[in-house]
Amino acid sequence: MGAVCYYTVRMTRKTAKVLLSTALMLIVASGAFAATGAWTLDDLSSSKVGSFPKRWRTWPLQRGKAAMVYTVAEENGKRFIHAVDSEDISQQIFFNFDWPIEDRPMLSWRWRATKLPEGAAESNDATNDSACGVYVVVGKYSGHSIKYVWSTTLPAGSVISRHEGKLKIKVLDSGSGKLGQWMNHSVDVMADYQALFGKPLDKQPSGVGILTDGNAVHKPAGCDYADFAISGKGR
């Protein structure tokens, strides 16, 4: 009986060591994933459908105008930000957060252009409107920014420099060929910043912004935005 008990205790200790080793491996693995895995920025679950997205911010004293453009909508159980500017409002909204850019340089999202502002072209002040626009903001409201757009007329791959070089606009989608269709995008912010500004990104971005506008050409513009997330490369 004693031998059986000894054997049982020995096996229990051995099993415990195996379990502990396995647990440690899982912790290390989960830690590695946590360091680079995807972070959803806002699933909009804290916002009411039909209302302004609760966790997003505006320029000072501009929330009332922004709320006329941006509302939370839902389709097939998925929430998104629905943006329509038909009154020349042109208001950005921002999602500010601590962005560990070296660990998570990838920004991904979906957008769906619903109305392209006729005659718009981001390369000219008189026509500088976009149905869909996503900003990466460095230095909050007074630093450098990259703006990714769905352009009415400029071809995908076009790059425009504005505001004395502080704003770089990169066209990801163009024209009406896929109007009304969700398009998925993933960009390497650090690589794009280096390529567009000619220097390394030496500080954390302060967040992302979106802008749907048609005020320059005085035409309506519309876009839906969803699933903003940051991640490490390869995720």
Q: Where does the pLDDT of residue 141 fall: very low under 50, low under 70, confident under 90, or very high at 90 and above? A: low
Choose among 138, 136, 166, 140: nearest CA to 148.
Answer: 136
Q: Do 32 and 145 lie in a common domain? A: no
Q: Do 140 and 84 lie in a common domain? A: yes
Single-letter residue type at 234: G
Q: Do 152 and 63 lie in a common domain? A: yes
Q: Do 123 and 154 lie in a common domain? A: yes
Q: Do 9 and 112 lie in a common domain? A: no
Instruction: Please give the average per-residue pLDDT across 105-112, as a whole number.
Output: 98
pLDDT above 60 for 139: yes
**How much is the pLDDT for 3?**
42
Q: Do 130 and 20 lie in a common domain? A: no
Give residues with Cβ within 8 angstroms of 123, minimum separation 6.
154, 158, 160
**How much is the pLDDT for 23?**
38
Task: Please state the domain count of the chain.
Answer: 2
Q: Do 14 and 44 lie in a common domain? A: no
Note down the domain range covering 20.
1-36
How confident is the prediction for the chain on average, in pLDDT? 87
Compute the distance between CA of residue 211 and CA of residue 84 in angstroms, rounded to an integer. 10
Count of Cβ atoms closer than 10 Å to residue 62 Cβ: 14
From residue 64, alpha-carbon distances to 69, 131, 133, 157, 172 in Å are 9, 20, 20, 35, 30
Are residues 104 and 234 in contact, defined by beta-carbon separation less than 8 angstroms?
A: no
* Ramachandran angles phi, psi of 214, nearest 5°: -145, 25
CATH number at residue 48: 2.60.120.260
Single-letter residue type at 18: V
**How much is the pLDDT for 18?**
38
Q: Do 15 and 96 lie in a common domain? A: no
pLDDT 10s digits, 157-167: 999 999 889 99
**How much is the pLDDT for 7?**
33
Q: Do 1 and 94 lie in a common domain? A: no
| Strands 183-188 and 207-210, bridge-based pairing | unpaired
**How much is the pLDDT for 235?**
57
Stretch among 2-11, 36-45, 151-160, 164-173 having the lowest mean pLDDT: 2-11
pLDDT 10s digits, 29-63: 333 334 558 999 999 999 999 999 999 999 999 99
pLDDT above 60 for 123: yes
Instruction: Please give the average per-residue pLDDT across 93-122, as a whole number.
Output: 97
Dump the DSSP string for 12-49: HHHHHHHHHHHHHHHHHHHHHHHHHS-EES--STTS-T
- Counting residues of the chain whose pLDDT is more than 70, the rounded percentage is 83
**How much is the pLDDT for 52?**
98
Dump the DSSP string for 136-159: EEESTTSSEEEEEEEESSSPTT-E
Q: Do 14 and 116 lie in a common domain? A: no
**How much is the pLDDT for 50?**
98
pTM: 0.84
Q: Do 171 and 154 lie in a common domain? A: yes
**How much is the pLDDT for 27?**
31
Give residues with Cβ within 8 angstroms of 131, minimum separation 6.
113, 114, 115, 116, 117, 120, 150, 152, 212, 221, 222, 223
Q: Do 63 and 32 lie in a common domain? A: no
pLDDT above 80 for 140: no
* SS3 category, 126: helix
